[in-house]
Every structure is written in C-alpha cells, then in structure tokens.
Structure 1
Amino acid sequence: MALVLAPLPLLVAVVPVTFAGGGARRWFGGRGEGQRAQAQAAKDEAAAAFYELDTAQRDLRISIETITAVDDSPAARRAKSGFESLGERIDQVSRDYITAVDSHDLDRDDLDAGAASRAREDLIRAKDELRRTKADLDRFEQGLGPLLAQAETQLARLAPAVERARQALRAASEALDAVRGSGLRADDLAARLAALAPELTKLNEGAGRHGVQETIRRADDVLRRAEAVRGEAERLPERAAEIDRRLVSLRTRAQAITTRAEGVGPVLSELRRRYSAACWQDLQTVPEQATRDVAQAEAKLKEAREARGEQRWADATALLSTVRALLNTTDEAVSAAGDRLRRLDEVSFDRGKEVERTRFAIRDAQRLAMAGRDTPDPRHARPLDAAVERLDRAIAGLEGRHPDWWHFLSETEAVRQTVGRVVQEIREERAGGH
C-alpha cells in the first residue's frame, strides 16, 4: 500500500500547473502589466506623431508642387531643395519608428517588465524624433508663405485668363463675320485672326504641358491680339466711310488749290512792278511748283481710290496722308504770294506800326529784366541791347530809292523772336527760384 500511495502528493502538485497554462496569457503581476500599458501608450503616441508628420508632409508636398509649377526663381528652387532634404530626414525617422514598432510585440504572452520598458523607451524616442521633425517641417512651411501666396495668385489667374482669351477670340470672329456680311473683305484681319489658331491650341493643351506662367503669358497675348482684331473689325465700316469722305474732300481741295494757283501769276506781276527783286525773288517758282505738287497729289489720289476699291485700307490711308501733305505744302506756297503782297503794302504805307510793335516788345522785355534789380543780368541785357541795334539797322536800311521791305519785315520778326526767348528764360529762371 505504501508503494501505491507515495506518488499521490506529486500528482496533486503538478496538475494545477498543467491546467493553469492551457493557452491563456501568462500573468506576471501588477507591475508588469503597468509596464505593458505604458509601452502601449507610447506606441499609440508614436503612431499619432507618425500620422501627423505624414499628413504634414503630404500637405507641404502640394504646396511645393504649387510653387514649382508657377515659379522658377532661385527662391523657388531653394524651397524645392529644402523640401527634398526634409523628405530624406522624414524617411529616416519613419524607418526608425517602424523599426521600433516591429521590434517589440506588446501582445506577447511572455512579455516581461524589462522588455516592456525597453519597448516604451524606444517608442518614446521614435515619437520625440517624429515630433521634432514635424516641428521643423512646420517652420519650413511657414517660411514658404510669400512664395506660396504668389504661386496661388498666379494659379488663381490661370483659368480666368484662359477663358478671357477664348472669349476674345470668339468676339473677334463674330465681329469679323459681321464685317464680311456687310460686304467688306477684311482679309488682313482674317489673316491675323487665323494666326492665333496655334496659340489657342496651346492654350487648350493646358498649363500641365506648357507651364503656368507661359500659359498665362500666352493667354494675355491672345487676349490683346484678339481684342485688337475685334476693335479694328468693328471700326472698319466707319474707317471705310472716312476714307470715302477724305477722297472726296481732298479731291475738292486739290481743285481749289489749282484755281488759287492760277492767281499767283498776277500777284507776282504786281510784286515785280512795285517792289525790289529781293522782295519777291524767292516766290518765282511757286506757280510751277504748285502745278507739279497738285499733279502729284492727284496721281496719289487715284492710287488711293484704287486701294480703297481693293479694300487695302492701310495703303489707302497712307496714300491719303501723302496727298494731304502735298496739298498743305502747295497751299502754303500759294498763300505766301498773296500774303507777301499784303504785308509789303501795309509796311510800305506805314512802317511806324511795325517799328512800334517791335520797340514795345523790346521795352516790355527790358522792364521784366530790371524787375527787382538795380542792374540787369548781363545774360539778358546783352541780347536785348543787340536787338535794339538790329532794329535800328533795319530801319536805316529802308533809306534809298528801292528799300528792301521784305528784309525789314524779316529783321523785325527776328528781333521779336529773340526778345521772346529772353523773356521766356527770365520767367523760367524766376519760376525755378534762381
């Protein structure tokens, strides 16, 4: 019996241990579970820091892409390089975090207090590094404020700029159709509008292919050129009507000048009869020159009419400007003969008016030069004294049987011009506080 009963205490001692294991977690006391909980809390905080850093990096990447899409300046390139350097650091701290997580299985049944403590330390270290990197990332992002604001402004301009360009092209096309519908060809405007087609194609391809800044520049250029075409197309009917009016007006003026030029001959005969050669010699060629200029003007008018008929508006306008210049020159020359005779008659009848007019101008300038001074400034006195002497010589030159009245008139006019310049200088100096 003793041999049978001896093993029983051993069986009783072993059974509780065998059944207590049964696949359940091994409990090692309150302190161990506290260490596991602290490690788990550190793991959760590290995970939150990792998520925050990853989110911040994604947001910042969008900002950098926005800047580099618009801006190619050195500052933008530095921002991109700085972000790439931060990205390398983020990759490293992320790897360290993942390594720390993978190195410690906090759900292990046999996790002891020491392992839990080491896990907690590693995870806290990973969390702290993640947060420091996040803080550096935030500071870097704050420094991008001006660049990002400028880039966002450019991007905000992009879509409206492209749309305005498209609308301008449509408006130009509609204006051109309306002009053609009225019977005007407007071939040059059509060619200019057609030249914008490749630019529209590039606009439609978008900023992704051509860049934001280049697309905005192209849109602004298309807008400007399309609006110019539209404006000229809308003004074309009035331009054609204006050219028609000018053709009639200049033709009438050419005829009038021709008629007036026929009267220059009798005027020259009167000048020759009553005055010395010096008074009229420079007018001898006026009749012949008037005839040539009017003939040239009429030839240009004919070319202008042809250009108008062919709707070469720029050519017609240029030719009409040439006609006008020719007729202006001829008109002045024809008028000069009659004006010369009138002025000579007036001065030869009463030279006193011309002399007094000139002396008054000199005296007025002298009073101005002396205003507020005891003696005049030599810079003003010398030309005024010379003007007095020049006038005296002009008056003396009228002595004789055949005085050169035209020389006298030319001299008095020159004296008044000299005096006028002195007066202008004095006023400018005083206005400037000199």
Structure 2
Amino acid sequence: MDDAACVANMTQCLTDSGLKYCDAGKDICLQRGLCITSIIYSNRSACICYPCYYGDTCENEIFSRNLWTVGLPFSPAMTPKIFYVINSILSFFIVITIINSVLCLQTYFCSKRVRITNVGVYLIFNAIISFLLGLMLSIQSITSWLPQYIPEDYWKISCLIDRKFVYMSLAYMLGWSIFLIGFERMLVECFHYSLYDSRKRSFITLTSVCIICSLTTIPGIFTLKNLSADQLGIAGRLNIAMVTCVNYTSLGYIIDKIILSIHVYGTFILYIILCVVVFKHILRHRRKTVPAHTTPQNVRIILHKHRDFFIPLLASIICSTPMIVVNEIMTCAKVSESKSVPYIYLFGSMFTSLPIALSFFTFIYPANVYMTAFWKESFVGRCLRKMKTKIVCKRKKLTTLFTSTNLNLTPISTRSHELLT
C-alpha cells in the first residue's frame, strides 16, 4: 500500500506488513506514539512517536515548552489553505505595522516640541523599535512562504537572529519603552516634573534598557538540547534546524521562563500600577477642585482628557492578555492534537500585534499636541493637507459652476413658458 492508503487505513497497512497494534495492556509508548508489534512475534514491540516526541518509548520531548508553535503544522486543522490564510493575514498586519511606525517616526522627528522632551525621546525609541520589528517580521513572513527553497544554514542563522538574540531583545525593549513613556508622563502629572527637563535622564535610561535586554538573551545558550538526527523522526528533523538555538533543557527552560517573566509579566504589572496610580491621583484632585461632579462623571472626564496616557497602557494590557494565557497552557503535543489551535494562534497573534500595528492611533491620534504636530510639521501631514485643500477647492469650483449654470438656464425656461402660454 502507498502512503496515502496507509493513512486512510492504518490497520490494513500494518496487517499487510505482518504487524498490528499492541494490545491495550502492552502499550509501551506512554500515549505519546503508536505501539506496533509483530503478528508472529507479539513479544516484540516498537513505537512510532508522534511529531513532538522521540526515544524508544517516546519518553522524551523534542521541543521545550517555549516552542509550542512548532506543533502547528501537525495540527489536524492546519491545511495548506489555512496556512496561506494565516500567513496572508499576519503579512497584512506586518505591512500596517511598518506604515504606522514610519508615520510616528516622521511626526516625532519633524516636531521640535516633541524631540526636546524626555517623553519625545521615549516615543522616538518606541517607533524605531516598532519599525525594526516590522522589518524582521516581514523577512520571516517572506521566508515562510517558500521554506523549501531556503538552505538549512539560513534557518540556523535565522534562529539566532529572529528567535534568540535580536528579535527577543527588541521585543523586550518595546515593552519597556511603553512603560517608560507612561512613567515619564506620571512624573509630570503626579510629581510635578517639568516636561522639558534635561533629556540626559531618558538617554541614560534607554541605554540601560538596551544593555539589559540584550544581555538577558545570553544565558540560554548554555542549556540547549543536543539532539542528533538519528534520535528524531522525520518531523523533528524538518523543524529542529529552525529552533535549535532556543530548544532548551529543563534547566534552560526554567532560566528562559524567569527572564521572560521579568520582561513580559513585569512590564504587564507595571502598566497596571501606572494606570492605577495616575487615575487615583487625578480622581483625588478632581474631587477637591470639582466637588459637584459625581464619580462616574469624573471617571468619564479623566479617561477622555487623559486618553493619551491611558490608551497605550490599556491597549497593551488588554491585547497581550490572551496570548500570555495561551503561552502558559500550550505545548507542542497539545497543538499537534488540536483542531482549534491554529485559529487561536491567528487571533491571538492579531490581537497581540494590534498596539504595535496601530501605533499611530495608539500614541499620536489621542494626543492633540501630537496630532497638531502631524498635520502642521510632518511631511506626510503637510502633503495630506495640501491634497485636502486641492480637493476642497475643486469641489467649490464645481459647485459654483453648477450653480451658475442653473441660474443661466432659469431665465430661458421662464421665457419659453411665457411664449407657450
């Protein structure tokens, strides 16, 4: 029987080969593979391991838990059509990310009022990191469309860049930059720091963040699994080259988890603390200055007037929560057995990327100062204003022409009516 026939009728395929499934009490594969035995010599058994396991009895996991997405291609729902749909949607989000980053960068750089503040330095840093992440994701997306044409050495280098050192460092920096933007605004709002304090503080802080985020990706290189091709099934050999630089031992996974928790959960908690501290401070101030307003009125006014502070933080909190939960519960084996995980991955990735993909609407649009700088000082804003002015002028000319034409035709129609009567 050929491979397709075997997949359709595994029992018959095994019988034709003089094999059968092991009896229930003699399954040695720990529910991590198919136990096969000889029909004649039933005391001899072997295991055909599922994609995420290897070993004589499938006792070992090929991939550490941080690599649960490696199991996506083996999911029953991951058909070529679904793969192309997921890749297309994520590619669209990558393009939107790059466009928004460019819009933010040119707004910040063109406005001196933004550049000379500490908040402006953090905003510029955030936009640069977003742009670099967008470029890296675009390269990943392009290579994922044609993996069969990519040499194995490329995947090993790509692993070091995209999964280990560069991409993860930038992702950590992005999270901390969002916190620093909110923290600087809290200093101005709650502790009466000047908006135009020396930028030395922001440059020192960002330098420290860059160094720390880069260094925290190093420890994992000392605790990697060393798996030979002979130990792995076909699926394992196909995927191990892409992730070998982050395929940790048990100790390595614990170290990686601690580092990830500091950068991801740490910033997540700090976002919440910032929101609570600033909200309580402003609410207390409003209760003193405007005692006639009720609490719901104050809450509505605070969220509206200070939306430029709350929107970036709340968007990061809300959008990152689903994927944080998924990362905690998923493993390669669970993914390869589930039909719904590809859709969960798609929507989780889309939701997580919303704040960075729509950074213009997260950081610039809610703030009147930044929107004014965009329209009046940035290159794109000025071009859009000129286009709008031209469109309005043409519309006025057409309206005037149409009105004058109607006025000229009215007397003719009136005279014709008089002649007829």
Give me the TM-score of the superposition, normalised by structure 1: 0.26
More strand by share: 2
More helix by share: 1
Query: Which has more radius of gyration?
Result: 1
Higher relative contact order (CA 8 A, sep 6+): 2
